[in-house]
Structure 1
Amino acid sequence: MASTSIAIAYDCLYPFTTGGGERQYRGFAEALVDEGRRVDYLTARQWDDQSPAATERFRVVPVTGRLNLHDADGVRRTPAALAFAWGLFRALVRRRRAYDAVIVSGLPVLNVFAARAALAGSGTKIVVDYLEVWGRRQWIEYAGRMTGGLAWMLQRLAIAVTPIATCHSQLTARRLRSEGLRSEPLVSPGLIDAGPATDRVSPAARPPYVVYAGRHIPDKRVESLPAAVESARKRVPDLRLVILGNGPSTPAVAQATHGRDWITMPGFVSEDRLHELMGEAACLVNPSRREGYGLVVVEASAYGTPVVLVADEGNAATELITADTNGFVASSADADDLADAIVRAVEGGLPLRARTREWYEDAVRTRTITRTVGNILTALDRAHPDSSRGTVDDRKETAA
């Protein structure tokens, strides 16, 4: 593709916030820079003092001030989504001919309408990246009948007007088609953006422990883990549980751990400690009911640590698991079902850990974020084969 300037629009920026989407879009920005593109990252302000622009390989452009993105239950707040969409619209109107392409996250969905309206008639190509796509029932469960129903209708409309759609699982691709996408979605090969975490696979720590790493929100079902590991302890008596992270569901998780002295909840830990805990765990367990990709599977596999997930219609991470190769998928989050998968992972021992690492070594060659970005550039090339804006001369700050 001949273009030289691309914008990425998402309301969070890693490492100021630490979810999978943040890491993905940062990876996009860095991979695009590696491809010789100038990149602006349009986001909400998440820092108190000096802008991170001077330390980044890409330019960080705050289009709004700091936003309170989630309510006490971990649900995205509508006022924050509206504020970011309005800020994005204004920023893109001011620079409507500055970019050859804009990659906009479809979450929140208002971003799509902001980009389409601001760039109408400009010739700038728009790629909408869908981290997840939900059906009407899931939206209502997440945000209530009125807000959830409206969000579902807006999602359908956004999908209908999406020119180029990208996603990261076959599950999301199927949902895009069923919700009205008029073109074929571009399904990425993967989102791996790091090399091997270790040179060799080590045995799990003794006594063995299961680890959970992530936010504590209702969809993650973290509170189901104590009962599941307690059931697993009938066959692995010295098994322990380490629950990392925190969030709105932490009180419920803490209540579920009461009286079980084989459980620790250290909250968020340092990077060094996280690497140690991930690398020495007998397995990583994520009982989430929904995942758009499942980066945690890749991260654990880098250490040779097998992963246990739960089968669910909204859990795309299960696409990354090959049974008895890099983990297992439990049939449900019921304690006994989850315990059975955990025991199989623990008893798999060093041979399973070696197979898990082999899975990762193949994935790190074939399922990379670099390949995904390359596919996006190819799609833009096909959609826009003869047009280039050349260099971007006006790169003034567009902070709100």
Structure 2
Amino acid sequence: MASPATVAVAYDCLFPYSTGGGERQYRAFADEMGARGLDVEYLTAVQWDGDIPSERNFRIVPVSRRLSLYGADGVRRIPAALAYAAGLFRSLGRSRGRYDAVIVSGLPIFNVYAARLALLGTRTRVVVDYLEVWHRRQWVEYSGLITGTIAWLLQRGAIAITPLATCHSQLSATRLRREGLRRAPLVSPGLIDGAVDAAPTAPASQPPYVLYAGRHIPDKRVESLPAAVAEARTTIPDLRLTVLGTGPTSARILVDDAELDALMHGALALINPSRREGYGLVVVEANAHGTPVVLVADEGNAATELIDEGVNGVVAPSTSPTDLARAIRAVAHGGDDLRRSARAWYDTAVGTRTIRRTVEGILSALQLSTAPAPRTTKEDTP
């Protein structure tokens, strides 16, 4: 019997030792491929104390020391990105020819150069997964004129040397082609990682509240919410705002998963005024609870692709108090019917927009056969 294909997933963070959309996505990639019978290694930075943790479906391979990824302003630190890329280069160089394929995150962009250089001349297939693709102005706004321009040029170079690109929105697919990708990217159907264990849809809690759950950084525009809620109170006088999350602009708020689920389930709406999202898993998570979502239209916000207006949420045209308040009122007016249709949207999406289907597409593009192994369930976990 032929040996299973060996695949590496490369990202500097690993859920649950660090949290975020990318961390959860790449862990889910590794779990899903391992469950399909592939031999999977996860190449990451140290984020734990003591021995390397053991996982059921993949092996954790530390390629760099513990890193401080973000500065006080919430921006990725270049020294940390370079340190991980250097570690990735060394690890892949030592194991040249051992992997059938390497799936590497395109953020930070140095990862792409490290993987391509280390594997030059081998038969290892390289897949670059682009969580987001920024145009030059976004890079400049994020990192300043000089650093931002250099980062944009590095991104263009990385895209030019990408043999197979994957992404998770039409926005990213369009930008990849505009920034120089030579062949059409593989656009995933979605990133839902298993069904959310949510209670049946129920009316919003009373008094009503809108919920924000996410990082507190400038791109998320959390500061726009108080004025919007104040405006909405002219017609919903007892409306409240609940803000969760972490970031350089706020003190940390500690909420466990059970409390977050309860807050999500009872919210009138989940509101996310972010200017940029690579996918928008928060839309899926909220709809699983029957909670509609309020987003803001922006050229960098791919999450709006998940919104069927009036079915599972509302997209406001801007973060102005008037526009956001109007969207909140629309959700309130939709009432229980909107909550039921939001949950129905999720029930359809959980069968079609999944990590499993995304991994199937990647493995098919790589022409890697699998021998399905028994799938891990919550009941199997010791």
Query: Aligned partners of 2:134, 2:196: CA distance in 1, in Å?
Result: 33
Distance change (3 Å), C-alpha of 1:199 and 1:5: same
Query: Aligned partners of 2:341, 2:3: CA distance in 1, in Å?
Result: 42
Query: Aligned partners of 2:51, 2:260: CA distance in 1, in Å?
Result: 28
Is 1:294 matched with 2:280?
yes
CA contact (8 A) 1:285 1:308 kept: yes
Query: Aligned partners of 1:204, 1:44: CA distance in 2, in Å?
Result: 41
What is the RMSD of the two structures over their aligned residues, measured on CA atoms?
1.5
The CA deviation string for residues 132-179 of structure 1, in whole angstroms up to 9 with x for no partner, is: 000011101000111111100000000001000000000000000000
Aligned-partner SS, 2:298:
coil
Query: Aligned partners of 1:24, 1:55: CA distance in 2, in Å?
Result: 16
Q: 2:128 matched to which residue of 1? A: 128
Q: 2:34 matched to which residue of 1? A: 33
Q: How does 1:45-84 map to 2 (within 5 A)?
A: 45-52=46-53, 54-84=54-84
Q: 2:115 matched to which residue of 1? A: 115
Query: Aligned partners of 1:38, 1:224: CA distance in 2, in Å?
Result: 46
> For residue 76 of structure 1, what is the amino acid of its counterpart?
R
Is 1:180 matched with 2:166?
no
Q: 1:202 matched to which residue of 2? A: 202
Q: 1:20 matched to which residue of 2? A: 21
- Count of matched residue positions in the alignment of Structure 1 and Structure 2: 369
| Deviation of 1:57 (Å) | 2.4
Q: 2:373 matched to which residue of 1? A: none
The CA deviation string for residues 7-31 of structure 1, in whole angstroms up to 9 with x for no partner, is: 0000000011111000000110111
| Deviation of 1:311 (Å) | 0.2
Query: Aligned partners of 1:249, 1:177: CA distance in 2, in Å?
Result: 35
Q: How does 1:154-303 map to 2 (within 5 A)?
A: 154-250=154-250, 267-303=253-289
The CA deviation string for residues 47-73 of structure 1, in whole angstroms up to 9 with x for no partner, is: 122321x24421011100000111111
Moved over 6 A (4+): none
The CA deviation string for residues 240-263 of structure 1, in whole angstroms up to 9 with x for no partner, is: 010001201227xxxxxxxxxxxx
| Deviation of 1:35 (Å) | 1.4
Aligned-partner SS, 1:366:
coil
Q: 2:295 matched to which residue of 1? A: 309
Query: Aligned partners of 1:2, 1:328: CA distance in 2, in Å?
Result: 49
Aligned-partner SS, 1:48:
coil
Query: Aligned partners of 2:10, 2:310: CA distance in 1, in Å?
Result: 39
> For residue 93 of structure 1, what is the amino acid of its counterpart?
G
Q: 1:254 matched to which residue of 2? A: none
CA contact (8 A) 1:3 1:100 kept: no
Query: Which shifted more, 292-301 or 344-353?
Result: 344-353
Is 1:87 matched with 2:122?
no
Q: 2:349 matched to which residue of 1? A: 363
Q: 1:260 matched to which residue of 2? A: none
Bigger relative contact order (CA 8 A; separation at least 6): 1
Query: Aligned partners of 2:357, 2:308: CA distance in 1, in Å?
Result: 22
| Deviation of 1:122 (Å) | 1.2
Query: Aligned partners of 2:72, 2:213: CA distance in 1, in Å?
Result: 20
Q: How does 1:136-151 map to 2 (within 5 A)?
A: 136-151=136-151
Give the share of equivalent positions with the same residue, in percent: 62
Distance change (3 Å), C-alpha of 1:97 and 1:80: same
Choose which of 295, 299, 315 in structure 2 pairs with 1:329: 315
CA contact (8 A) 1:306 1:356 kept: yes
| Deviation of 1:2 (Å) | 8.4
TM-score (norm 2): 0.94
Query: Aligned partners of 1:363, 1:24: CA distance in 2, in Å?
Result: 17
Distance change (3 Å), C-alpha of 1:11 and 1:326: same
Q: 1:44 matched to which residue of 2? A: 45
